């Protein structure tokens, strides 16, 4: 396959294999519920399909979808805007790393659930209106953390993995430190940054759902409230919606990466 095809992902055979992979999940699901009865409490694909059709006709479902999607993209954009320059600086300057990296590494292992009480104190009533819906800044912060640290660490590793001979060669040709950073260090770190962005998008969704389960809005809350109400089919609808939106978000990040990295294949399996 040509490099352009690998980057763009235009390969019918690959899409066919991926379709088979997704279809296999639904086949096994139907076998486990309808035919074999292995999981009696799990709704069948037909039950979930009927519930999905009903949900698509409900404005509340679309409101939850828009709210969650807006939270993800706002938080992700802020995380990338902060993590990339921080990671590049930490990877490039030992002094800057000594002043910043230990504090960030102390915060990184704290799980999103542990941040919720702190966020409720720091952001008790603040909200940000986006696309016509209220977006709690506390949830934005927790979602931001999910994307921030993967992008940061990959940016640091991307800079530190660059062969030291490349900056030296550029400097021997008369480049200034800024030119070396701009034309050697930054492009060399881009593949790692892109990998961190893909990972960060997935973790942003994980953090978002965890925060939304107690926030009273969004797909996370829709899924949790359905569990409380015993509406198991709607739980699956919420899970599938989150999974689909997360997959589409990752595809968008990969597409953007392909535009920035035309010399490499960014169509990850």
- Residue 210: Cβ within 10 Å count: 21
Q: Count of residues for the chain?
A: 269
Q: Is 176 a residue whose pLDDT tops 70?
A: yes
Residues with Cβ within 8 Å of 170's Cβ and at least 6 positions away in sequence, in order, are: 179, 180, 183, 184
Q: Give the whole-angstrom CA distance, residue 62 versus residue 66.
A: 6
Q: Is 50 a residue whose pLDDT tops 60?
A: yes
Stated pTM of the model:
0.84
Tell me the pLDDT band of 165, cut-offs 50, 70 and 90: confident
Outline where 93-185 has alpha helix (H): 94-107, 112-122, 137-160, 165-172, 177-180
Q: What pLDDT, on a 0 to 100 scale, did the predictor assign at position 239?
A: 92
Higher pLDDT, 177 or 64: 64
Q: What pLDDT, on a 0 to 100 scale, did the predictor assign at position 127?
A: 54
Every domain of the chain and the residues it spans: 1-42, 44-260
Residues with Cβ within 8 Å of 199's Cβ and at least 6 positions away in sequence, in order, are: 150, 154
Q: Is 248 a residue whose pLDDT tops 90?
A: yes
The top-level CATH class assigned to 44-260 is: mainly alpha
Query: How far is Cα of residue 128 from the mean position of the Cα atoms in its chain?
Result: 21
Integer Rg of the chain from CA: 22
């Amino acid at each position: 396959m040509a490099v352009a095809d690998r980057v763009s992902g235009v390969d019918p055979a690959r899409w066919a294999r991926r379709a088979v992979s997704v279809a296999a999940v639904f086949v096994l699901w139907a076998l486990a519920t309808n035919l074999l009865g292995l999981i009696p409490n799990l709704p069948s694909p037909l039950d979930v399909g009927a519930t999905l059709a009903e949900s698509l006709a409900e404005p509340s479902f679309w409101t939850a979808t828009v709210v969650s999607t807006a939270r993800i993209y706002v938080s992700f954009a802020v995380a990338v805007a902060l993590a990339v320059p921080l990671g590049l600086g930490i990877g490039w300057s030992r002094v800057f790393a000594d002043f910043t990296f230990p504090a960030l590494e102390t915060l990184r292992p704290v799980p999103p659930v542990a941040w919720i009480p702190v966020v409720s104190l720091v952001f008790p009533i603040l909200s940000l209106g986006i696309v016509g819906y209220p977006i709690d800044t506390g949830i934005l912060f927790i979602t931001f953390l999910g994307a921030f640290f993967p992008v940061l660490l990959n940016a640091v590793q991307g800079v530190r993995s660059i062969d030291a001979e490349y900056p030296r060669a550029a400097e021997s040709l008369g480049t200034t430190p800024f030119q070396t950073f701009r034309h050697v260090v930054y492009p060399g770190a881009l593949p790692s940054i892109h990998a961190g962005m893909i990972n960060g998008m997935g973790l942003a969704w994980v953090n978002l759902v965890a925060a939304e389960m107690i926030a009273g809005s969004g797909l996370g809350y829709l899924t949790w409230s359905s569990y409380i109400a015993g509406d198991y089919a709607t739980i699956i609808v919420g899970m599938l919606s989150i999974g689909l939106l997360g997959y589409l978000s990752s595809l968008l990040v990969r597409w953007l990466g392909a535009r920035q990295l035309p010399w490499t294949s960014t169509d990850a399996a």
